């Protein structure tokens, strides 16, 4: 009977395989797709706390924010590109470049944006919306669920999406007219009364340079509603939102 012998190169081949697999994973993360976790309720009902997303990093071309640690070795985007109105994008807010935010693009360079009695106006025209009923918003972990109105909003260009409105009062619902500067975007959360966005120019978001955009959020690949402590593993199968798996983001 022939006896099997160990080849000296077997371990080396194994190490090479692990090394190449690591390079491929780093390359995909750096140049193609990046996972992103939703930690807050600013994009409810489109995105829920506990959603895990895939961000497309090459859709708009690359900026230095596309790369780990955002090395400042070039400016602008290459090749040139940028979001369309209605895209849901991940970006670095100008007021806090260490954080990733996710919002919807509402205003493009040169647009005027205003909120009047809770209604969105773009370039002086009221954006149409239709009442879709009542929504129980439980995204605030520090309080009980809040009842809000669910609306279907249609932006100029045809993008239709859901928004939540709790009130039509306060500064966020009655703003001055904003004129989006060249090269910048105006961002808003779909949870209109629970979102720190471009309406607050003295906050971390303000006007967002197109260069700061990492990419559009394309797909929810996993979602979990953590209502119980992490160690209570027997609840895990019941907390997974199976209906949101592989759900396209609109």
Active centre residues (catalytic): 42, 103
**Which residues are CB-neighbours of 157 under 8 A, at least 6 positions away?**
84, 85, 86
Residue listed under structure tokens 């509402």 = 106
**Which residues are CB-neighbours of 245 under 8 A, at least 6 positions away?**
220, 221, 222, 223
- Which of 151, 110, 111 minimizes the C-alpha distance to 129? 151
Tokens of 236: 């895990």
Query: Phi, psi (5° rounding) for residue 245?
Result: -65, 135
| Cβ burial, residue 227 (10 Å; 0-12/13-18/19+) | exposed
Q: How many CB atoms lie within 10 A of CB 18?
A: 10
Helix (H, G, I), strand (E, B) or coil at 243: helix
**Which residues are CB-neighbours of 20 under 8 A, at least 6 positions away?**
none
Tokens of 207: 């006007």
How does DSSP assign 39-55, residue by residue? -SSTTTTTS-TTEEEEE
Residue listed under structure tokens 């099997």 = 4
> ω before 79 within 30° of 0 (cis)?
yes
């Amino acid at each position: 009977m022939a006896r099997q012998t160990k080849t000296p190169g077997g371990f080396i081949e194994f190490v090479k395989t692990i090394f190449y697999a690591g390079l491929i994973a780093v390359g995909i993360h750096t140049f193609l797709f990046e996972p992103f976790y939703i930690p807050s309720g600013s994009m409810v009902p489109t995105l829920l706390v506990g959603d895990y997303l895939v961000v497309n990093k090459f859709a708009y071309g690359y900026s230095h924010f596309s790369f780990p640690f955002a090395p400042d070795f070039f400016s602008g985007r290459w090749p040139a590109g940028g979001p369309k109105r209605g895209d849901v994008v991940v970006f670095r807010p100008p007021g806090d470049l260490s954080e990733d935010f996710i919002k919807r693009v509402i205003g493009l360079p040169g647009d005027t944006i205003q909120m009047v009695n809770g209604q969105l106006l773009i370039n002086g025209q009221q954006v149409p919306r239709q009442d879709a009923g009542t929504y129980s918003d439980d995204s605030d972990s520090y309080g009980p669920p809040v009842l809000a109105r669910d609306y279907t909003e249609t932006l100029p260009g045809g993008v239709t999406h859901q928004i939540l409105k709790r009130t039509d009062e306060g500064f966020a619902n009655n703003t001055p007219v904003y004129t989006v500067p060249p090269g910048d975007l105006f961002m808003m959360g779909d949870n209109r009364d629970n979102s720190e966005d471009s309406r607050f120019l003295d906050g971390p978001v303000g006007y967002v340079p197109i260069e700061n955009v990492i990419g559009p959020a394309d797909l929810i690949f996993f979602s979990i509603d953590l209502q119980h402590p992490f160690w209570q593993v027997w609840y895990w199968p019941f907390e997974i939102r199976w209906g949101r798996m592989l759900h396209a983001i609109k």
